[in-house]
Amino acid sequence: MKQGNILSRIAVLGLIGACLALLLTAPPLAQAQDPLPSWNEGPARQAIISFVQKVTDKSSPAYVPPAERLATFDQDGTLWVEHSLYAQAIFALDRVHELAAKHPEWKAEQPFKAVLANDREAMARFTEQDWAKIIGATHAGMSTEAFLQIVQDWLAHARDPRFKRPYTELVYQPMLEVMHYLRANGFKTYIVTGGGQEFVRVYSEQIYGVPPEQVVGSSIATRYEYQDGKPVLMRLPKVFFIDDKTGKPIGINLFIGKRPLAAFGNSGGDREMLEYTGAGPGARLMMLVLHDDQNREYAYGPAQGLPDTKVGTFSQALRDEAK
Amino acid sequence: MKQGNILSRIAVLGLIGACLALLLTAPPLAQAQDPLPSWNEGPARQAIISFVQKVTDKSSPAYVPPAERLATFDQDGTLWVEHSLYAQAIFALDRVHELAAKHPEWKAEQPFKAVLANDREAMARFTEQDWAKIIGATHAGMSTEAFLQIVQDWLAHARDPRFKRPYTELVYQPMLEVMHYLRANGFKTYIVTGGGQEFVRVYSEQIYGVPPEQVVGSSIATRYEYQDGKPVLMRLPKVFFIDDKTGKPIGINLFIGKRPLAAFGNSGGDREMLEYTGAGPGARLMMLVLHDDQNREYAYGPAQGLPDTKVGTFSQALRDEAK
């Protein structure tokens, strides 16, 4: 069987479209009967509700005990807004500016020179190696605790250029409702992100209700050493694990040791996670978030024939397969 | 500050001695008032109880909210019996015999030749490289699901040579009681083992009540690929992560993202985990299991001046530091 066939079989359940509202002001979750108040009526909403009913009803042949109820969510573009650059890439670029005084050599050295000159054209052409240099210079060389503090400080001050709000407020209300609904039905919800695990852990509990131990992401190596006589974990400029594409099922098995019952993604980086989820026995739910609302967020990707606007985004091919 | 000084400060709280009974017949956990019925009265028992009271009492200055109540346990020699060889090493040697028919070349090739000839002297001198070859030949080359089945089958039939019982029955009742007591007080209990993560996950829920996602261990690399059109994770003969010594705090941060409040170990492989635990603020509990009961289990290590009987065991120096 070709890979494409598998995905068309497993991902046919749902495409979330046209229903994504940005949580620009966060309403409290409704106490009402409706578990998904922000969702339009339609097949995607219905697929979620009937899936949850099936796996939680003890008399159903598709019943799954609570310990096996696992749902995984991509973050960027699935739970919160991404556009052109991930929030974490913007964090890295901001850090280059902040650290420039200590690195006079960067004025003449790429890729730092382009960042410091705000040369958008050059930045748009950055290779993976360029980004690796930037990550190494901005995400390593400090203890894990110092890094946590740096991220917290950045999140408190950084603003999305269009919405002028903290990134932690630019989350999708419908997806928060799905997470809440699944947890209320005995699911454990995990974030499985190509982004940095320690970056996302800083705010995952506060904005998604997902504790640090339920965030699986990309990571750099750390070394156990002593600072002023106290043991610390020092972050090294060396990739340890990339939690993207085939890395997502690998990371899920490594960190969780169970196959998800439900998975939510939006881009080509989520393909294998959705496929791996769907290849398990019994009822499964796989969904893709489609970005077609240019007023309340960014419209990009194949929705309405719009071009992809970021590296590795949801490709037309993936949507065609899912259809 | 020297490392020795830190450990003497943090590990002074308790040495568990003389009180370990093998769970040869598993009594149901007592419903009585006493949460630790198998424990002798003494400073170790008292240290556990007063620690739990302190961190769970909202009026205590050492109060810790439930989300931060994390306890980590080494496995081999801390939760279940180890002697001369880890159970997993015996599994690997059994697999060599089982696979030998498919590998006629092993009769002339070390380290397999020594295993097949039951040459105990040669096996006692195996280097880390020899073991790496054996692990590669016995733990890789199959999907994660096939491996799970192989381990289950082995556990069902393998018996400890002295006690003639399945390994999964050779667990320490006092330690089960500590795990249960901590969980009843809002702690999340994790196993943090130098052994194979996917090996321990096969039985951790059943025998310790610890689900797969709360087992952190050593792992080999996996590759996402297709078998008969279905995606599988193929186990590769390549080390991914060694969760021992400095690897334990690194693994704890990587998998959990929180520092333990309490940690339990028995050997030099647990030293940094105990030290990292103790270096956090507030009340902390660090304990070492001491093996001095040669009738009900194996006596080894520095207890009563007995020699170490396994690689990497609890060293005299570690016990001296803890004292």
What count of other Cβ atoms lies within 10 Å of the Cβ of residue A206? Answer: 10
Q: Please indicate whether, in this complex, the C-beta atoms of A257 and B201 are within 8 angstroms of each other.
A: yes
Give A137's contacts (C-beta < 8 A, 6+ positions apart).
Answer: A95, A96, A99, A103, A112, A237
List chain B residues with CB under 8 Å of A2: 229
Closest residue in chain A to residue B275, using alpha carbons only: A231
Partner residue opposite A211 with nearest CB, options B67, B250, B279: B67
What is the rounded CA–CA span in Å between residue A42 and residue A49? 11
Q: Say what the pLDDT of residue B161 is.
A: 86
Q: Say what the pLDDT of residue A303 is.
A: 52
A254 touches chain B (CB under 8 A): yes
DSSP 3-state assignment of B30? coil
Q: Say what the pLDDT of residue B291 is.
A: 79
What is the rounded CA–CA span in Å between residue A45 and residue A57? 18
Q: Say what the pLDDT of residue A186 is.
A: 98
**Parts of chain A with a pLDDT under 70:** 1-32, 84, 301-323
Closest residue in chain B to residue A221, using alpha carbons only: B250
Q: Please indicate whether, in this complex, the C-beta atoms of B224 and A211 are within 8 angstroms of each other.
A: no
Q: Please indicate whether, in this complex, the C-beta atoms of A276 and B198 are within 8 angstroms of each other.
A: no
CB A216, CB A73: distance < 8 Å: no
**Which tokens belong to B96?**
């060599």
What is the rounded CA–CA span in Å between residue A151 and residue A139? 10
CA B244 and chain centroid, separation: 10
A243 touches chain B (CB under 8 A): no
How many cross-chain Cβ pairs, A to B, lie less than 8 Å apart? 96
Q: What is the pLDDT of residues B200-244, one digit of tens each?
A: 999 999 999 999 999 999 999 999 999 999 999 999 999 999 999
List chain B residues with CB under 8 Å of A219: 254
Closest residue in chain A to residue B204, using alpha carbons only: A257
Q: Say what the pLDDT of residue A321 is.
A: 53
Q: What is the pLDDT of residues B283-317, one digit of tens each?
A: 999 999 887 777 777 777 655 444 443 323 344 44
List chain B residues with CB under 8 Å of A205: 67
Q: Please indicate whether, in this complex, the C-beta atoms of B223 and A233 are within 8 angstroms of each other.
A: no
Q: Say what the pLDDT of residue A81 is.
A: 85
**What does residue A167 show for φ and ψ, rounded to 5 degrees?**
-60, -35
Q: Say what the pLDDT of residue A301 is.
A: 67
Partner residue opposite B233 with nearest CB, options A213, A231, A250: A250
Closest residue in chain B to residue A67, using alpha carbons only: B211
Choose the mutation target among B190, B218, B224, B242 for the interface with A, i.e. most A CBs under 10 Å: B224
Q: Say what the pLDDT of residue A32 is.
A: 52
B77 closest CA partner among B154, B16, B124? B16
Partner residue opposite B1 with nearest CB, options A5, A223, A229: A229
Q: Say what the pLDDT of residue B2 is.
A: 33
List B residues 180-199 in contact with A (Cβ-Cβ < 8 A): 188, 197-198
Mean pLDDT of B273-292: 92
* Residue A2 C-alpha, separation from nearest chain B C-alpha, in angstroms: 7
Choose the mutation target among A148, A202, A254, A273 for the interface with B, i.e. most B CBs under 10 Å: A254
A193 closest CA partner among A126, A156, A245? A245
A258 touches chain B (CB under 8 A): yes
ipTM surpassing 0.90, yes or no?
Answer: no
Closest residue in chain A to residue B144, using alpha carbons only: A253
A236 touches chain B (CB under 8 A): no
B250 touches chain A (CB under 8 A): yes
% of chain B beyond a pLDDT of 70: 83
What residue type is B148 in one-letter code? L
Tell me what percent of chain A is helix, strand and coil, each rounded to the nearest 5: 45, 20, 40
Partner residue opposite B224 with nearest CB, options A198, A229, A272: A272
Q: Say what the pLDDT of residue A3 is.
A: 34
List chain A residues with CB under 8 Å of B67: 205, 211
Mean pLDDT of B139-161: 96
B238 touches chain A (CB under 8 A): no
Q: What is the pLDDT of residues B93-102, one digit of tens each?
A: 999 999 999 9
DSSP A209: S
Rg (CA), chain B: 20
CB B217, CB B191: distance < 8 Å: yes
B230 touches chain A (CB under 8 A): yes
CB B254, CB B248: distance < 8 Å: no
Q: Decide: residue A127, CB within 10 A, 0-12 exposed, 13-18 middle, 19+ buried.
A: exposed
Q: Please indicate whether, in this complex, the C-beta atoms of B233 and A253 are within 8 angstroms of each other.
A: yes
Q: Say what the pLDDT of residue A323 is.
A: 52
Q: Say what the pLDDT of residue B186 is.
A: 98
